[in-house]
Amino acid sequence: MSALILDGKALSLESEADLTQRVAAIKEQNNGQAPILATILVGADPASATYVKMKQNACKRIGMESIAVEMPSTTSTRELLAKIDELNINPNCHGILLQHPVPSQIDERACFDQIDIAKDVDGVTCHGFGRMAMDEEAYGSATPQGIMRILEAYDIDLIGKHAVVVGRSPILGKPMSLMLLNGHATVTICHSRTQNLPDLIKQADVIVGAVGRPEFIQAEWIKDGAVVIDAGYHPGGVGDIELGPLVDRVAAYTPVPGGVGPMTINTLIQQSVIAAEKSL
């Protein structure tokens, strides 16, 4: 059996073509002003700086603009909250991204929740999470929302299927589980301390690896014909799942790289465009 490759890179390129047209339409209606995404980077973590740059480049590709806010590693919670407030009241700023993680002295949750829900295009606020969980209109957390877009684009049927999510982070594992539940899957949430984890994973029709450890989920734990979603990315180009032995026996899988990653960034940009459209 040759598995279907869930190509997030190809999907993101298709989406960018559509978003480019939508941005042009926004500019026509808004006196030439393009949608703007504000990116906030606190400190000098090189990986975070790279991720922010990728998001800024994605804005440029579709004609959006970005406000690059860079703050020192000594920034306090109060200073970061004040910067977020400044962006909240800026009518030309349509989306706000606070790059995770922030330095340890900052109350990250308080800062996430300071973002106006209308500009929470990365889906990080408790308010947005609650609305998403209740299946109300909200911007979904970018990575799980991107995964849902992949599943929809490739017509992966979730209704009644057993989905197992390995990971419980507030911006990936938890929202992923609720999105799958809202998609009518039966969901089991696991994590690194779950007992009998291999036995639970063997039951999965859909497995989502979101535990943040390289190849933590072993190929032998996954049954033939499963749909495999790997949300991890680690040095050496590996994800959270041991993908190599699976490519000839599962129904579908996201490659690493080129699967979930491109759709995470694209979803952030798409939701920024939607926010700009709503603001008009």
Annotated binding site for NADP(+): 167-169
Catalytic pick among 122, 205, 230, 240: 122
Cβ distance 261 to 8 under 8 Å? yes
Annotated catalytic residue: which of 99, 145, 270, 271?
Answer: 99
The alpha helices in the chain, defined as continuous H runs, are 8-29, 46-61, 77-88, 108-114, 126-133, 142-153, 173-182, 197-201, 260-279
CA separation for the pair 264, 72 (Å, rounded): 26
Identify which of 242, 264, 269 has the alpha carbon closest to the alpha carbon of residue 253: 242
Distances (CA, A) of 106 to 2, 65, 97, 102, 171: 48, 28, 16, 7, 18
Asked about 107 being catalytic, the answer comes back as no
55 is catalytic: yes
**Two tokens, residue 239:** 């994800």
Give the residue numbers marked as catalytic.
Answer: 55, 99, 122
